[in-house]
Structure 1
Amino acid sequence: MGVPVRRLWVAVLCGYLAFGATLQALPAYVPEKFGGGALASGTAVGIAFLATACGRPVAGWLADAGWSRPVVVAGGVLTALGGLGQLLAPSLIILMIARLVMGAGEAALFSAALPWVLSGMRMAQRGRAAGWFGLSMWGGLAAGPVIASLIGDRVWWVVVGLAAASALLVLTTRSDPGRIEPLVRIRRFRDLVPVGVPLPGATVGLAAYCYGTVAALLVLRLRADGIGGDGIALAVFAAAFLVIRFAGSPAVDRYGGRTVAAVTVTIEVVALVGLALVGEAVGALVFTALAGCGMALIYPACVSMTLDRVRGLRPGVSMGVMTSFWDLGVMVAGPLGGLVAERLGFPAAFYLAAVSAAACVVVCLVFLRQRRAVSPR
């Protein structure tokens, strides 16, 4: 029985379109409904990624034991409940709780679906496959803000509907063809974080801080400083991201994840410095597009590095933990970037993100040297 790749792709896309739409809606929704500033808005965006970071290893752990399908279904249901909670939240605290529920749903949705998909792929094709399937998640994160911009006040009902559609799509698939196996008991730290995962995780986490800064603060920066382009900036980021992800994913298998990560994140450094300095709309949109290009291939590059280092053992847990580093980076970027923006101004927040990107490049280069040193063993 084959893996229902296309249906899983669409299911994850629907869930992350819902999640992505909230990224566009929250920066205006929080101040208008609850009176919060940049710090509150950034925290509302980032806190969902705390639940996502905690949930991914658990989802991967269950997927490795053959429980992919019920976990993915649960992800769609939790995402819908989180969206409904944000719509009906009477206070900022309830909104934050709803964000945590939605984040847990997103973790279950993608981190159980990806190992299910990769179980039907040869090792040599997994970098490309992860890049293509990852378009369901990143495409949703990128295109969701566009949907939110187009539909305005109805966005929260659309969020709930998209998440419900995600759950229904998975419910209509046949059972996970993988055999149900006993769950691996977690007795020590290495059972939860396999050897070989932390360094790719650090790479993707540092890059994620850059994405989190763009997601939480770009719209606010363009509005507050009167630059313009705030209505389409995230759409421009999305378009550049998707084009490069679709066209460039084969480069991961061809040139290796380390090389691709180092090159593309260098582009991100340039883009973030440009966003800190720019003072007019056209330039802001150019640097926004460049930022999308710089982020496009970091995830498949880190999937390739992770799978290479763990040699195919426990791929669900390994990728779940690695992706959790991404969530942690985005989570930190929201409140920390918001705090820096309130105290020192928005340009300072983007300079800090550029420093994070530069640190990511350094980790990649160190990782390259370390990998060459141990490869003969």
Structure 2
Amino acid sequence: MDHAVKQPENVNLPLLTYVGFTFLGYFIIGLSLSVLPIFISKSLGFSLVIAGLVISLQYVATFFLRAYSGKIIDGKGSKPAVLSSMLGFSLTGIFLILAYYFKFSPLISLGFLIITRLLTGCGEGMIGASPINWAIMALGEKHTAKIISYNGVACYGALAIGASLGVVIEHQFGLYGIGILSILVGIVGFLFAKTKTNYTNSHTQDSQSFWKVLGKVSPFGICLALGGIGFASISTFITLYYNYFHWNNGALCLTVFGGLFVAGRLVFSNVINNYGGIRVAIACLLVETIGLLIISFANNSEMALFGAGVTGLGFSLIFPALGVVAIKSVSPSSQGSALAGYGLFIDLSLGIAGPLIGGVADIWGMKYIFPFSALMVLTGLGVAYLLKRKSNF
């Protein structure tokens, strides 16, 4: 079936049924996110370097699955990709249980965890752009900005809820409990996806290779990656930054950042349609830069908290704003590949931000990490401005 279907006037409720798959997938990802490093280092006795490498395998698998998922979405529709992701997430639960039962043999347990991380990455790679494309085909391209915005809220909200709940479950039941819940949630997502209508693109004759599509969306992806440095600096280093200055309640910064991020997505998603993606991205990158500079020059925890909120508000619409323009830069038959390729850049950004910003802290000191992050985001602002000058956006 092609995407020429009757589209509902009120899309909010139908939209939730699609981004719900994103929520389920990232909820499963979040469940083990906070507990696996501790399990690998404390229970199995491996170094933090090994723990970090095992965790990072997820992002490697995600990176390589993006291209494949884009091809599946463009050729067969989003439903097969979502079904595959939910099966993959359920399998992660099985291998988590095996890792738990073989913890008496650290190497075997670690081997099962490696499989778990690879399957998690495959599941994330398949779910990344699938619900967005599914919703666009079902609800119409005019709702693209809102769809991407709501999908992001589902993603980050699910990670936060899953990570918090995972700590509680692991404390009570160990990895066994997380494994069981992962299996059940994956099955629920699979069965729900089976009930929904699949939509395939009827204009496949002009489809392009993933790598050609990647080249077209890369300018927007570069802006996204630079903007993601600010997000990564707060999510990874704000508590250490507070500790460096002997301030209290560093974790509150994450709450304020996340709260204003979600608020920005929900309240201002329509401005993208009204003012255009590039203009909104420029404004957001400017606000994010200001927020990071406020943190850089803050002489107390309250000012840093305010800066974190401003940064969260600025970052909130960068992904959907640039994503709308990235999708329009390719033919309709390649939109799945466009979103998959565009999403690669946030994976890349979050993957390199930790070592990069950590290196800045090691070489120049902790107080320089947010000025550096502000400079990176400001560079993204410059790239976005050049795109606006050179293109008719």
TM-score (norm 1): 0.82
Structure with the greater alpha carbon radius of gyration: 2
1:256 aligns with 2:276: yes
Q: Tell me, what secondary structure is at the counterpart of 2:384?
A: helix
Aligned equivalents of 1:31 and 1:218: distance in 2? 23
Q: Tell me, what secondary structure is at the counterpart of 1:302?
A: helix
The residue aligned with 1:122 is: 140
> Does the 8 A contact of 1:12 with 1:166 survive in 2?
no
Describe the shift of the 1:242–1:160 C-alpha distance in structure 2 as closer, same or farther (beyond 3 A).
farther
Please tell me the residue identity of whatever aligns with 1:103. G
The residue aligned with 1:78 is: 88
The residue aligned with 2:10 is: none
> Bigger shift: 248-257 or 143-152?
143-152
**1:228-377 alignment to 2 at 5 Å?**
228-278=248-298, 280-372=300-392
The residue aligned with 1:104 is: 122
1:365 CA displacement: 0.2
Please tell me the residue identity of whatever aligns with 1:15. G
The residue aligned with 1:52 is: 62
Query: Which deviations, in whole Å up to 9, do the C-alpha atoms of 1:191-220 show, x marking residues without a partner?
Result: 4x3553111111111112222232222233
Query: Which deviations, in whole Å up to 9, do the C-alpha atoms of 1:9-41 show, x marking residues without a partner?
Result: 22321222343455555776776566756x778
> Does the 8 A contact of 2:79 with 2:198 survive in 1?
no
> Does the 8 A contact of 2:272 with 2:321 survive in 1?
yes
Query: Which deviations, in whole Å up to 9, do the C-alpha atoms of 1:276-300 show, x marking residues without a partner?
Result: 4445433332222222111110111
Aligned equivalents of 1:81 and 1:278: distance in 2? 46
Equivalent of residue 177 in structure 1, options 198, 213, 221:
198
Aligned equivalents of 2:171 and 2:18: distance in 1? 29
Describe the shift of the 1:129–1:66 C-alpha distance in structure 2 as closer, same or farther (beyond 3 A).
same
> Does the 8 A contact of 2:206 with 2:331 survive in 1?
no
> Bigger shift: 258-267 or 334-343?
334-343
Describe the shift of the 1:251–1:188 C-alpha distance in structure 2 as closer, same or farther (beyond 3 A).
closer
Q: Tell me, what secondary structure is at the counterpart of 1:119?
A: helix
> Does the 8 A contact of 1:213 with 1:330 survive in 2?
no
Describe the shift of the 1:182–1:80 C-alpha distance in structure 2 as closer, same or farther (beyond 3 A).
farther
> Does the 8 A contact of 2:24 with 2:185 survive in 1?
yes
Aligned equivalents of 1:11 and 1:71: distance in 2? 11
Compare relative contact order (CA 8 Å, sep 6+) and give the higher one, 1 or 2: 1
Describe the shift of the 1:181–1:257 C-alpha distance in structure 2 as closer, same or farther (beyond 3 A).
closer
* Root mean square deviation of aligned Cα: 3.6
Describe the shift of the 1:213–1:164 C-alpha distance in structure 2 as closer, same or farther (beyond 3 A).
farther
What stretches of structure 2 of length at least 5 have no aligned partner? 8-13
TM-score (norm 2): 0.79
Instruction: Give me the identity figure in percent.
Output: 21
What stretches of structure 1 of length at least 5 have no aligned partner? none
> Does the 8 A contact of 1:53 with 1:325 survive in 2?
no
> Does the 8 A contact of 2:21 with 2:189 survive in 1?
yes
The aligned length equals: 371
Q: Tell me, what secondary structure is at the counterpart of 2:246?
A: coil
Please tell me the residue identity of whatever aligns with 1:137. C
Please tell me the residue identity of whatever aligns with 1:72. V
> Bigger shift: 266-275 or 180-189?
180-189
Aligned equivalents of 1:41 and 1:127: distance in 2? 37
> Bigger shift: 271-280 or 11-20?
271-280
